[in-house]
Structure formats: C-alpha cells, structure tokens
Chains A and B, each alone.
Chain A
Amino acid sequence: MFEWSEEHDMMRTAVRQFIEKEIVPELDAFEHEGRPPYDALRKMFSTFGIDAAARAGFAKRIRREAAAEESAPGATANDRDDDLDLDLGEGGRSDPAMTLIPTIELSRYCPGMVTALGVSVGLTSAAINAKGTLAQRQRWVPDLLSLTMIGAWAITEPGSGSDAFGSMVSTARRDGDEYVLNGSKTFITNGPYADTIVFICKLDEGNRPAERKVLSFVLDKGMPGLEQSKPLRKMGMHSSPTGELFLTDVRAGRDRLIGETEDVAAGGREGAKATFAQERVGVAGMALGIIERCLELSVEYAKERVQFGRPIGDFQLIQDKLARMEVARLNVNNLVFRYIEMTQAGKHLSLAEASALKLYSARAASEVAMEAVQLFGGNGYMSEFRVEQLARDAKVLQIYAGTDEIQITHIAKDLLRR
C-alpha cells in the first residue's frame, strides 16, 4: 500500500468536512473552557454509522467465536485480543484504516479528542474483550465501542508509571464472595467522567508485593467508595479530561473480576499485548495528523510571511525546516500504510516493531510541531495560529503509551535477544 484507496479518500474527505464544520468552530470550548469531548465524538460516530457498525462487528464476532468453539472447544479463548472490526456489511472487509482515518483527521485539529476516544473504545473495551467472560464482554463492550458509555483504563499510580506492575500498590483483598479494592490512580484519561473503569491492582494474600497476582476489575461510576477527581490541569491535550481515581473499600463481586478467575496467565503481567500494539499504532496515526497539519500551515505561512522584502520561504534555513517536515510526514505515513497492509494480510506487528513505530512517530510529531512554532516566529507562540496547540499536544505522544525511553528499551531488548 502506497496511497489511500478511493474509499479511504472518500472517508477522509467526509470526516474532514464533519470535523471542520462541527468541531473546529467550537475548538476553544474544548481546548480552553473545559467542555468534555464526548458529545461531539458521539455525534461523529452516529453521523458515520461507526457506533452501529461497531455493535454489529462485536455481535458478528461473538457468533463466529461460538461457531468456532463448537468445532474446536477452547481454541478461541487465547486468541481474542486483536482489533475489533467494524461491520460494514457487504463489501466491507476488515480494514484498520476505518479507525485510523478518524484518528488522523481529528489529530489535525484536536489530538485530545483522539486520546479520549482511543482510551474509551480502544484500551478499555479491548481490555474487557480480550480477557473477559462472554457475559462480561456483552455487558460492557458494545456500550464502550459505540461510545454509549465512556471508558477509562487505570494502571498508573502516583508511585508507579513506567514500572507499572513492579511498583503498583493498589490492592484487592478477598472478603467472602467479593473483593475489597483500595488504591489511587493518576493521569487517568476520561477519569473524571468515565462510566466504566478498568481498575488494575494486585491481589493481596498477605504475600510480598512482588509475588502478587495482577487482577483487573470493571467498575461503574457511582459505586460506593469510588471517587473520580476533577480534570487535572496540564500542558496540552486539553480536550481530553485526565484525572485521579481514589478507591476506599470499594466492594466488587466476582462478576467484575475480568475473566472471573484469579488464575491469569503470567500472573496477569502479560497484559493484552495486541492492545499495546494497537495503542502504539494509534499514536502513529495521531502523529501523522499533527505532522500533516503543521506542514500545511508552515508551507502556507512560508509563502505569505514577508521579511527582508522576501517571503521567508526564500530563506534556506526555512526551507530546511519544511524539507525535514516532509521527510517526517513521508516516513510516518509509510509506517501507517505498512501497518494497514500487514493487518489486511492477517499479519501482526511484533511488540518491538510497534515500539519502533511509536518511538519514531512520536518524536517526529514533537519535532515537526516545535519547528512549526519556530517557523511562525512570534505568531507561532500565539494560540490563534494553532501550531502552538499542536506542539503542546504532540509532546505527550513521547510520554504516554510507554515513554520514548521505554520503547527504546523494548526495541533494544528484542534486538539483543535475537
């Protein structure tokens, strides 16, 4: 794949028109006045039939699994954590571009919306779908995929970030048929508003923390003992509410323990690898949207802005910036195309490849956006010219979904193991 297909281009155009008409005029409300992004995202989903297609895709998948289970019992249980498909009816085939296109297009203006969206329909629903029982999947996943419910996925704690499992202190204790959950989580996307929360903690059986099993529970907003903070103030991604969660003796039945079993593979530390891969690819899509937009704005400005009697695009130092931006755009675009084509061919990115893609894309987006600010001079520092917001937003791509340093560690470990 070296270019978007005709259908992809139609989707891109339609989604871009929607965003420019429905979201861009309201951008200040989302970015500076604290308006939550969910209604706008829901409108986008219903406009393009993404909610219905996601529900239909989920139902189809459950049927397919039931059929497979009948012919080969047990086979599907461990092979479930790949992407959920949109069901687009006849002529619609599995195509990751369907989710990447809204990601890229939204990121041109409002990467925060993608963060809020991705955590809900990507991370949270995938965590439940990959390891949940059939009843749990049916209870939560379709509502998350269709944005009927907003999801949050909570692993990070004040004392545990990159070393998520090692330093985790949140606990679950058995109490009769139930569990009692305690702990606090921070930097949780959608935390302030989430209806459905995946809470990751350790089973405290009186053993040493390092030996404890990692369990995941699904919590609903309003459960006694669960407190969701107000949005935290942050550098960028202002349209994505980020908050803290505090759990004080929250009682959860076994029906909320994902998989309804404490016997989780690798002590629960494996996580859903495909989910991480998917998240990293999502970051590449965001990077592409940011880079495309910064480059467009920069080229326009380089032609228009006159200093020393010439458009600044005449100066070689400005040309150097534009050329580097274009190289970054081509590279990130190719990585995204490669992922789409691989997925269509039924192949998966390895985790190390996904890390490489995420590392490169996130750095490229940050660099391009900061260079765009530089190219715009004082105007670049002013909100009105938009590259200022994109530069603040881009920075976090190097921090969440695994920091640059952690991606490097994964890539190197994989190389040295060969």
Chain B
Amino acid sequence: MGAAKAVIVSDDALRGTDALGTAKVLAAVIKREMPDLILCATESSDGYTGTTPVQLAELLGLPSITFAKSVAVDGSSVKVERQTESGYDEVTAPTPCVVTVTAGVVEPRYPSFKGIMAAKGKPVDQLTVADLGIDAGQVGSAGAGQEVVSVQPAEARQGGEIVVDEGDGHEKIVAFLEQLKVI
C-alpha cells in the first residue's frame, strides 16, 4: 500500500507479553526510526485492552490523541477530529506524536500494480529483543504484570421473544416496555 520499509520484531522471549511490554518493544523500535507521526489502531481484536498506544506515547514522551476519525497533517502539527459520544472535538498536536484511529473511518487504499511489483524489493528488518537492547526479563510472561489464567467461551445469547401482531401489536409493545419499567 505504499510503505517504504517494514520492521518485524520476532522473538520467543515475547511469548505472553502484556500491553505494557508490547509498548516497550514498540517504543524501542520507534526510537530507532524517529518518525513524525505514529499511527495506531484503537485496540486489538484479541486483547482489546486499548492501552498500548497511550503507553507507547508515554514511553516515548510524546503527545497522543486517541479516537481520531480524521487526521490531517499540516506542516509540523496534526489536526485531528476526535470522536466523542456527542460528536467530535477538534484537537491539534505538534509532531512527532501518537494518534489512534477508529475502525471503519478510513479505508486502506488498494495497492497499485506498480506497488505490488515493487513490494518484494522493499526492506523488511527482522529484529530480536536483544537487537533492541531490551532485557528479556522485561517482556514476555516474565515481565508481564498480568497473566491470562483461563479463556472461556462467551455465553450464547438467549433467543428473543417473537410477538405476533394480531391488531394489538402496539398494546403488546407497551405492556412489554412497562414490564421493563422503561415507561
């Protein structure tokens, strides 16, 4: 999609790393690269902690803006529309900074054929924890402040109640809502 290079950190020592450990590793990689803008998603779709991006910003000593529904870079600052419950806030921050974006707001663009042909030639650095100067005891389950003790399937949702409208549908709805003490 147009990336010039990629870095992958792969190390057995990372097994069991928690959100803070992940942020430490990412911070170490990002320090080597010194980017102007660090874009993160809001949360992962497995752990869902949603804390890694802000931890990352803290470790890097950078400002962070979360829940961006649009991001515009203007010289040495970014302007973000930050999603709120009632609408959005307009927030600006100087670069470098960390921004997390909400799902579905930006569609990733398709890679061009030229980009696909060029992709193989783009450098991908593979690093270990040691390459990053991180002590293995700080990451993985050894460094984690939390532990997953068990994984349970979510309870199946109960089937709903189907109300057949025999001319008295509205009465049944009102009765149902009254029973819930909503009205």
CB < 8 Å neighbour of A7 from B109, B110, B112, B116: B116
A92 vs B115: C-alpha distance when bound (angstroms):
10
B118: interface (CB < 8 Å): yes
Chain B nearest CB: distance from A145 CB in Å? Answer: 14
Q: Once the chains bind, are B112 and A10 in contact (CB under 8 Å)?
A: no
Q: Once the chains bind, are B119 and A49 in contact (CB under 8 Å)?
A: no
Residues of chain B whose beta carbon lies under 8 Å from any beta carbon of chain A: 109-121
Q: Once the chains bind, are A90 and B113 in contact (CB under 8 Å)?
A: no
Residues of B within 8 A of A89 (CB): 114, 117-118
A89 vs B116: C-alpha distance when bound (angstroms):
11
Residues of A within 8 A of B120 (CB): 6-7, 91
Most chain A beta carbons < 10 A, residue from B109, B114, B120: B114
Residues of A within 8 A of B117 (CB): 7, 88-89, 91-92
A6 vs B113: C-alpha distance when bound (angstroms):
13
Q: Once the chains bind, are A49 and B118 in contact (CB under 8 Å)?
A: no
A17: interface (CB < 8 Å): yes
Residues of A within 8 A of B118 (CB): 88-92
Contacts A90-B121, A91-B121 given; indicate if A10 touches B110 (C-beta within 8 A).
no
A288 vs B112: C-alpha distance when bound (angstroms):
23
A397: interface (CB < 8 Å): no
Closest 6 CB pairs of A and B: A49-B112, A92-B117, A88-B117, A88-B114, A10-B116, A14-B110
Residues 83-114 of chain A: 1 if any B CB is under 8 Å from the residue's CB, otherwise 0? 00010111110000010000000000000000
Q: Once the chains bind, are A92 and B114 in contact (CB under 8 Å)?
A: yes
Most chain A beta carbons < 10 A, residue from B109, B111, B112, B119: B112
A48: interface (CB < 8 Å): yes
CB < 8 Å neighbour of A18 from B110, B115, B116: B110
Residues of B within 8 A of A14 (CB): 110-111, 116
CB < 8 Å neighbour of B111 from A6, A10, A50, A53: A10
Chain A nearest CB: distance from B89 CB in Å? Answer: 31
A383: interface (CB < 8 Å): no
> Nearest CB to that of B1 among chain A residues?
A14
Q: Once the chains bind, are A48 and B110 in contact (CB under 8 Å)?
A: yes
A90 vs B117: C-alpha distance when bound (angstroms):
8
A41: interface (CB < 8 Å): no
Chain A nearest CB: distance from B4 CB in Å? Answer: 14
Within 8 A of B (CB), among A158-214: none
A82 vs B112: C-alpha distance when bound (angstroms):
24
Chain A nearest CB: distance from B124 CB in Å? Answer: 14
Q: Once the chains bind, are B110 and A88 in contact (CB under 8 Å)?
A: no
A90 vs B116: C-alpha distance when bound (angstroms):
11
Most chain B beta carbons < 10 A, residue from A52, A89, A90, A91: A91
Residues of B within 8 A of A49 (CB): 112-115
> Nearest CB to that of A9 among chain B residues?
B116
A47: interface (CB < 8 Å): yes
A52 vs B111: C-alpha distance when bound (angstroms):
14
Residues of B within 8 A of A18 (CB): 110
> Nearest CB to that of B109 among chain A residues?
A47
Residues of B within 8 A of A406 (CB): none
A98 vs B114: C-alpha distance when bound (angstroms):
10
Residues 43-62 of chain A: 1 if any B CB is under 8 Å from the residue's CB, otherwise 0? 00001111011000000000
A18 vs B113: C-alpha distance when bound (angstroms):
13
A349: interface (CB < 8 Å): no
A409 vs B179: C-alpha distance when bound (angstroms):
81
Residues of A within 8 A of B115 (CB): 49
A50 vs B113: C-alpha distance when bound (angstroms):
7
Chain A nearest CB: distance from B51 CB in Å? Answer: 32
Residues of B within 8 A of A250 (CB): none
A91 vs B117: C-alpha distance when bound (angstroms):
6
> Nearest CB to that of A101 among chain B residues?
B113
Residues 20-40 of chain A: 1 if any B CB is under 8 Å from the residue's CB, otherwise 0? 000000000000000000000
Residues of B within 8 A of A88 (CB): 113-114, 117-118
A264: interface (CB < 8 Å): no
Chain B nearest CB: distance from A18 CB in Å? Answer: 6
Q: Can you give 17 A-B contacts (C-beta < 8 A)?
A: A7-B117, A7-B119, A10-B116, A11-B113, A14-B116, A18-B110, A48-B111, A48-B112, A49-B112, A52-B114, A88-B114, A89-B117, A90-B118, A90-B121, A91-B120, A91-B121, A92-B114
A91 vs B116: C-alpha distance when bound (angstroms):
10
Residues of B within 8 A of A17 (CB): 110
Residues of A within 8 A of B111 (CB): 10, 14, 48
Q: Once the chains bind, are B110 and A53 in contact (CB under 8 Å)?
A: no
